[in-house]
Structure 1
Amino acid sequence: MSTTTKKTLVPEYMLEFQCIGSECEDTCCAGWKVTVDQDTYKKYKRLKDEELSPIIDENIKRVRSKASPSNYARIKMDTEGSCVFLNEQKLCSIQLKKGEDYLCHTCKTYPRIWNNVNDVVERAATISCPEIARLALLNPEGIGFQEQIESVEIGLQFSNHINTSKQVKGKKLQKYFWELRIFTIQVLQYRQYKLEDRLLFLGLFYQKVQEYMNNSEEDQVLQLIGSYTNMLQSGTIDKMFADVPVNHTIQMKIIKKLTDRRFFQGGVNQRYTECYTECLMGLEHFEGMKEEDTLTRYIDANENYYQPFMKNHEYILENYLVNHVFSKVFPVTLDKNIFEEYVMLIIRYALIKLQLIGMSKYHKTAFSTDHVVKLIQSFGRAVEHNQAYLTNTKSLMEENGFTTMGYMSILIKN
């Protein structure tokens, strides 16, 4: 493997991360489709190995529709949904026999996410890995970042490539990407205010940015960031949102519907199923139950279990949001509708929150950070890696007129 020296930017949790292999409570080798890149596929076809070659020939099949160099073939899972190359110790037989260089790009990089911003290589990770979830979410000091010089593989495939000095047709805000990103993370980590107030404030900001985009006034964005930064530091944001009403009825109706859609779509991992079941049992929401009774229990769970717990653990959700913003290069949609990205961020937050509220009632005083990490990690697998669900959710919200700041405040405010 050829490497080159590059400047990198990494969240501090990545400096501690090490795969724990067979000790992991989940496996990254089961429960989803694994794509094989073209170079690795050809390497596998040239391989002469009495044990591995027959398994490769039988279980790695070409993608015939919309194939690409990165999505060239797929590994067939066994009847239990696990990778056929997984041994009894939950370790990869290809890596054990041939080394890491023989892993396809998907397996070699997971759970890492690589982006390139202004020729700086950014290395983050997806929260769907249990060890990453623990390291990223459970730091009460919040997620910090480090610049360093590292050896990076030549030809590394990046999830996103952004150059703020280059004018790209349609990408009206590309030159302001860094300023928008820094401001977003600054707001999310500004603990003088409750997280829900920070999210409401961020929504007003991106609503205004969207107005500028609609009116071709993108050159006003830097001034807007300056004025909103002054507001943030004024110490009065909480008063600004003190009178925003709470509407648990609409909140629960929207998010419960979105949660159910994902669960009944199928292909949900066991850990997420357990969390979903605990949420339903906590809210005593079973077939035939009256909606108003479930709502009463939802409000009780929020007030008596979820809120008291989150008073000292809100940093976990903050860390989830910051990791999403950094790893997904939010706001990556720098063209037509930047507010949509904010909407999808809030939907993720609200989906997690509703399920945690139900789970907190189920576990009562035993509710702990372990339960929160389990839900967010398994949510990462079930939702973050399911683009079809995210796309359908976005369409559903748009069709029902739910993508306004008014509806976002309903999803945020508890």
Structure 2
Amino acid sequence: MNTAAALVPKYMLDFKCIGSDCEDSCCIGWNVQIDKTTYTNLTSVSQKALRDNFKSGIEKVETPSRTNDQFAKMKMDSKTGCCSMLDEQKLCTIQASLGERYLAPICATYPRNIFWVNNEQEISAVMSCPEAARLALLNPEKMEFTHTEAMLQKNAQSKGQVFTDQPNPTFMNFFWDIRIFTIEIIQNRNYSFPHRLIIMGLFCEQLQRLIDQNLESESDIKGLIENFKEMINNNAELQDYGTFPQDHEFQFIALNNIISKNLGSIGSNARFASCVQDYLDGLNEHKDSDDKLDLVNFYQKGYHSYYKPFMDEYEYIFENYAVNFIYSHLFPKSESKNVYKVYTILVSHYVLLKLLLIGMSIKHKGLTTDKVLKLIQSFTKISEHTNVYVKNIIDFLTEKEFSSMGHLSLLIKN
């Protein structure tokens, strides 16, 4: 792994932490795990005041759960969710007093995701960081990739490595073909974003069938990609968005139930809580509306009146979100060889965000990039932390046997 370069989306070249100017903090609302080396370094510093502060702000994980990687954790304020190491300006006292090399791996690395593909490092950013999300999502140009300096310091946390040259042919031998093609689908602006997401799903559904049948040769995988390229360019049925079914009642009831079910899971994430409240306030306007539509039709009217006009202009936000997801999750990598499930997780993110934005747009009689960014950033923060929202959608689809593209399109399409 002796390399000085890393593959990155170009927005990473402009990213740097903006510290106390940030509208959120990466040190609030998380469980920050500390490895044994970091714990030992912090509790052994020569300055007594610092040493005592660290000892009081860090607690060891109870045995037998304690490991070298998860040896201790930062204490969090029960009311604010703030890390005990934050000062009054919400800056890290460890970094300020000792430098970055004393930080725990997760703190030294966030908001970056680091992976290795074969022997090349890849770095992207998690959209729970407001500044990273701003740079990644609000660029109207298609997301592009380049190389920059790799992160090789000892406390940089890598999330894993994949190899694409397996001796026995599997779909992972065609990792780059699949990855590049799915990004091409998502960035094909001849189609609306929901239409692109459905096309990607149809491809993933057929790819999963090949995997399940052990049909993973070069002719199988590359043949499927070439077939889809031909259909995208020439298949009238695939090109017609009206081909795909929609059911506003199914969509609203299923997704609203998931949001309602998890109102108690928001915790200290005040930004997400305010977005959810805006969503609820928007829907509650139905009660006072002179328009005697039922709630489902009121929701759909909000989509057409407020959400759609904004997204018609700013559709690149979700395009960038999806491309970043594909790249940062090493798609089509899957521990269980279930590529289609990884796609379903992406859909789960999109449909929940869309639902909340429709309600928010009703309350505010429109959307702004600031409001959309606030929701995506705060939702990512809570979904990365607890994952309950996405888990509930996956469980719902599995339990009801609604995981086919016919059913997923009902959640995607309005």
Secondary structure of residue in 2 paired with 1:308: helix
Q: Deviations over 1:174-225 (max 9, x none)?
A: 2121111111111000101111111111111111111112211112111101
> Residue 280 of structure 1 contacts residue 286 of structure 1 at CA under 8 Å; is this kept in 2?
no
Q: Deviations over 1:287-315 (max 9, x none)?
A: 9x9x9732122011101111111111100
How far apart in 2 are the matches of 1:137 and 1:94? 31
Q: What is residue 38 of structure 1 aligned with on the other side?
A: 36
- Aligned-partner residue type, residue 59 of structure 2: K
Q: What is residue 94 of structure 1 aligned with on the other side?
A: 94
Q: What is residue 222 of structure 2 aligned with on the other side?
A: 222
- Give the direction of change, closer, same or farther, for the CA distance of 1:268–1:207 in structure 2 (3 Å limit): farther
Q: What is residue 272 of structure 1 aligned with on the other side?
A: 272
Q: Deviations over 1:72-126 (max 9, x none)?
A: 2110112321111111111111111111111111111111110101211011010
Deviation at 1:253, TM superposition (A): 1.1
> Residue 4 of structure 1 contacts residue 152 of structure 1 at CA under 8 Å; is this kept in 2?
no
Q: What is residue 299 of structure 1 aligned with on the other side?
A: 300
Q: What is residue 77 of structure 2 aligned with on the other side?
A: 78
How far apart in 2 are the matches of 1:190 and 1:225? 15
Q: What is residue 406 of structure 2 aligned with on the other side?
A: 406
How far apart in 2 are the matches of 1:94 and 1:312? 43
Q: Deviations over 1:234-278 (max 9, x none)?
A: 374663432323211000111112222333224250000111011
How far apart in 2 are the matches of 1:35 and 1:209? 37
- Aligned-partner residue type, residue 114 of structure 1: I
> Residue 4 of structure 1 contacts residue 154 of structure 1 at CA under 8 Å; is this kept in 2?
no
- Aligned-partner residue type, residue 131 of structure 1: E
> Residue 192 of structure 1 contacts residue 235 of structure 1 at CA under 8 Å; is this kept in 2?
no
How far apart in 2 are the matches of 1:147 and 1:238? 36
Q: What is residue 57 of structure 2 aligned with on the other side?
A: 59
Q: Deviations over 1:5-43 (max 9, x none)?
A: 423100011000111100111011111111112221121
- Give the direction of change, closer, same or farther, for the CA distance of 1:156–1:84 in structure 2 (3 Å limit): closer
**CA RMSD of the aligned region, Å?**
2.4
How far apart in 1 are the matches of 2:358 and 2:180? 30
Deviation at 1:388, TM superposition (A): 5.3
Secondary structure of residue in 2 paired with 1:123: strand
> Residue 194 of structure 2 contacts residue 413 of structure 2 at CA under 8 Å; is this kept in 1?
yes
> Residue 200 of structure 1 contacts residue 409 of structure 1 at CA under 8 Å; is this kept in 2?
yes
How far apart in 1 are the matches of 2:335 and 2:73? 32
- Aligned-partner residue type, residue 75 of structure 1: M
- Aligned-partner residue type, residue 9 of structure 2: P
Deviation at 1:286, TM superposition (A): 9.1
> Residue 284 of structure 1 contacts residue 294 of structure 1 at CA under 8 Å; is this kept in 2?
no
How far apart in 1 are the matches of 2:380 and 2:143? 18
Mean CA deviation greater in 335-344 or 301-310: 335-344
- Aligned-partner residue type, residue 348 of structure 2: I
Secondary structure of residue in 1 paired with 2:4: strand
Mean CA deviation greater in 175-184 or 149-158: 149-158
- Aligned-partner residue type, residue 339 of structure 2: I
How far apart in 2 are the matches of 1:334 and 1:57? 38
Deviation at 1:66, TM superposition (A): 3.7
Q: How does 1:270-349 map to 2 (within 5 A)?
A: 270-284=270-284, 293-333=294-334, 335-349=336-350
How far apart in 2 are the matches of 1:392 and 1:284? 24
How far apart in 2 are the matches of 1:190 and 1:384? 28
Q: What is residue 179 of structure 1 aligned with on the other side?
A: 177
Q: What is residue 106 of structure 2 aligned with on the other side?
A: 106
Q: What is residue 24 of structure 1 aligned with on the other side?
A: 22
For these two proteins, the number of residue pairs brought into alignment is 407
How far apart in 2 are the matches of 1:136 and 1:263? 28
TM-score (norm 2): 0.92
**Taking every aligned residue pair, what percent have the same amino acid on both sides?**
38
- Give the direction of change, closer, same or farther, for the CA distance of 1:350–1:148 in structure 2 (3 Å limit): same
Mean CA deviation greater in 105-114 or 78-87: 78-87
Tell whether 2:255 aligns with 1:255.
Answer: yes
Structure 1 residues not aligned, in runs of 5+: none
> Residue 197 of structure 1 contacts residue 237 of structure 1 at CA under 8 Å; is this kept in 2?
no
Q: How does 1:196-207 map to 2 (within 5 A)?
A: 196-207=194-205
How far apart in 1 are the matches of 2:19 and 2:243? 49
> Residue 111 of structure 1 contacts residue 125 of structure 1 at CA under 8 Å; is this kept in 2?
yes
Tell whether 2:124 aligns with 1:121.
Answer: no
- Aligned-partner residue type, residue 313 of structure 1: Y
Deviation at 1:53, TM superposition (A): 1.5
Q: What is residue 138 of structure 1 aligned with on the other side?
A: 138
Q: What is residue 165 of structure 1 aligned with on the other side?
A: 165
> Residue 121 of structure 2 contacts residue 150 of structure 2 at CA under 8 Å; is this kept in 1?
no
Secondary structure of residue in 2 paired with 1:311: helix
Mean CA deviation greater in 216-225 or 43-52: 43-52
Deviation at 1:368, TM superposition (A): 0.7
Q: What is residue 211 of structure 1 aligned with on the other side?
A: 209
> Residue 142 of structure 2 contacts residue 187 of structure 2 at CA under 8 Å; is this kept in 1?
yes
Mean CA deviation greater in 204-213 or 148-157: 148-157
- Aligned-partner residue type, residue 312 of structure 1: E
> Residue 103 of structure 2 contacts residue 155 of structure 2 at CA under 8 Å; is this kept in 1?
no
- Give the direction of change, closer, same or farther, for the CA distance of 1:177–1:292 in structure 2 (3 Å limit): farther
Q: How does 1:363-378 map to 2 (within 5 A)?
A: 363-365=364-366, 367-378=367-378
- Aligned-partner residue type, residue 371 of structure 1: K
